[in-house]
């Protein structure tokens, strides 16, 4: 297992992103369908980890599902906590997903296949509504986030090798800039500093690429049509 360079949870908060929370109407399934069907012409995504993570070579294609579960009290984002022994992103909070295989037709196929393999969520419960810009990770992946509405009831079954826990976070909580912390750590041996987003929720510490992709969802949904 790759040893982490620092404990992200111990890095102090240096700032809050601070943008206003999205209004409730923008967190409704029909509004989300319309937004992905007719996206705003101008918005600025945050598409990669900091340059400190720059790696030579071609990034490995991957895809994740951004599952928006339709609960009676509003949409919730389904997330996983990875097992502690994995080589990449061990113990971190992630969307279900993984690297693309040669037999996958596209990113949607990858996201659906990996989601069913990791957590047992069958495609019949999933309505894909669109994609967000690719996100480049420091571990060498080019990740395509595939947004989807998920209709209960459904049964989940975690792959014990990859997934330690499955949980949900209210979408309204994650789509509030006051919840988006900026944390900055000084790296050892003159490597400079690294800043990253974190969105702690209860006993879960959401950060890194997952927080970056959630920031992009936030930017995408808050952008105004021209």
User: Can you spell out the DSSP letters for 177-193?
Assistant: GGG-EEEEEEPSTT--E
Within-domain flag for 1: no
* Alpha helices (H) in the chain, listed in sequence order: 29-37, 107-119, 171-174, 208-222
Is 67 within 8 Å of 171 (Cβ atoms)?
Answer: no
Domain of 86?
8-50+57-222
Report the SS3 class of residue 70. strand
For the domain that residue 127 is a member of, what is the CATH number?
Answer: 3.90.79.10
Q: Which of these, 216, 202, 185, 195, lies nearest to 16 by C-alpha position?
A: 195
Q: Burial of 37 by CB count in 10 Å (0-12 exposed, 13-18 middle, 19+ buried)?
A: exposed
Start-to-end CA span in the chain (Å): 47
> Is 160 among the domain residues?
yes
Q: Is 178 exposed, middle or buried (0-12, 13-18, 19+ CB in 10 A)?
A: exposed
Q: Say if residues 199 and 174 touch (Cβ distance below 8 Å).
A: yes
If one counts the domains in the chain, the total is 1
Tell me if 71 is assigned to some domain.
yes
Is 132 contained in some domain? yes
Is 2 domain-assigned? no
Per-residue pLDDT 10s for the chain (226 aa) are 445 556 788 888 999 999 999 999 999 999 999 999 999 988 999 876 654 455 667 899 999 999 999 999 999 999 999 886 454 444 689 999 999 999 999 999 999 999 999 999 999 999 999 999 999 988 889 999 999 999 999 999 999 988 999 999 999 999 999 999 999 888 777 667 788 899 999 999 999 899 999 999 999 999 997 6
In a domain, 3, yes or no: no
């Amino acid at each position: 297992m790759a040893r982490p360079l620092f404990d992200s949870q111990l890095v102090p908060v240096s700032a809050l992103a601070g943008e206003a929370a999205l209004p409730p109407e923008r967190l409704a399934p029909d509004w989300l369908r319309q937004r992905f069907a007719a996206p705003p012409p101008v918005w600025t995504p945050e598409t990669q980890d900091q340059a400190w993570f720059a790696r030579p070579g071609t990034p490995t294609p991957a895809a994740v599902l951004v599952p928006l579960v339709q609960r009676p009290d509003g949409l919730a984002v389904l997330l996983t906590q990875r097992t502690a022994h994995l080589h990449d992103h061990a113990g971190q909070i992630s969307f279900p997903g993984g690297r693309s295989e040669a037999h996958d037709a596209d990113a949607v196929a990858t996201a659906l296949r990996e989601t069913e393999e990791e957590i047992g969520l069958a495609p019949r419960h999933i309505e894909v509504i669109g994609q967000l810009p690719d996100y480049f990770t420091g571990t060498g992946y080019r990740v395509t986030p595939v947004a989807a509405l998920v209709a209960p009831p459904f049964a989940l079954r975690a792959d014990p090798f990859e997934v330690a826990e499955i949980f949900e976070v209210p979408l309204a909580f994650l789509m509030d800039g006051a919840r988006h912390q900026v944390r900055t750590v000084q790296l050892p041996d003159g490597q400079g500093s690294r800043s990253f987003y974190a969105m702690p929720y209860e006993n879960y510490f959401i950060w890194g690429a997952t927080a970056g992709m959630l920031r992009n969802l936030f930017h995408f949904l808050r952008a105004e049509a021209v």
